[in-house]
């Protein structure tokens, strides 16, 4: 992540909207919510609320992660969606490109993570004070230079 924030200017891509839910595509490089300082004010939440003033945050994606985000359009929907995330009833899947051929073709990462305070927002493995972070993975496609991998987090740690 670079120090200069230059978010993409892609138009808002609405995938679904009804009386309670809004589902939009978040481009990589755009904050989900405003950061500290005026230079970090441009974010998906602000852009969404410019078109859907009642939109409420349900979850976040890291700045450099592209993907689908769900917003609530009523406090009732926000409560219920928030509970689904809290109870881990929401299934999340990520697809990543990694350097090299990943072997074996499936596996799970199970390491305790904690905030790396001097290098925030990075995380680090700490077997003494870290909290469990589990992610299953499966290689979708690979060659000698890169692998495309599906990642399925089982826990919801920041920057997991």
Residues 65-120: tens digit of each pLDDT: 999 999 999 999 999 999 998 898 988 899 999 999 999 999 999 999 999 999 88
pLDDT at 155: 86
* Second-level CATH architecture of 13-86: 2-Layer Sandwich (3.30)
Q: Which residues contact 39 (CB under 8 A, 6 or more apart)?
A: 5
Arithmetic mean of pLDDT, 15-24: 97
pLDDT at 10: 93
- Reported confidence tier of residue 3, pLDDT bands at 50, 70, 90: low
Q: Where exactly are the structural domains of the chain? A: 13-86, 94-153
Write out the E strands in the chain: 13-17, 21-26, 56-57, 67-72, 94-99, 106-115, 123-125, 131-142, 146-153
**Global pTM?**
0.81
pLDDT at 124: 94
Which residues does the annotation mark as catalytic?
62
User: Percent of the chain having pLDDT more than 90?
Assistant: 85
Tell me, rounded to whole angstroms, the distance of Cα 113 from its chain centroid: 17
CB atoms within 10 A of CB 47: 18
């Amino acid at each position: 992540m670079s120090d200069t924030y230059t978010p993409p200017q892609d138009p808002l891509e609405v995938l679904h909207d009804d009386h309670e839910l809004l589902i939009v595509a978040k481009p990589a490089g755009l904050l989900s919510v405003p950061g500290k300082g005026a230079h970090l004010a441009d974010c998906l939440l602000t852009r969404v609320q410019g078109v859907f003033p009642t939109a409420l945050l349900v979850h976040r994606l890291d700045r450099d992660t592209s993907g689908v985000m769900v917003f609530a359009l009523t406090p009732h929907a926000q409560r219920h969606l928030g509970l689904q995330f809290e109870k881990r009833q929401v299934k999340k899947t990520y697809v990543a490109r990694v350097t090299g051929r990943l072997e074996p073709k499936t596996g799970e990462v199970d390491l305790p993570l904690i905030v790396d305070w001097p290098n925030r927002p990075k995380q680090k493995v700490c077997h003494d004070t870290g909290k469990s972070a589990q992610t299953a993975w499966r290689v979708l496609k690979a060659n000698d230079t890169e692998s495309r991998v599906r990642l399925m987090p089982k826990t919801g740690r920041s920057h997991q």
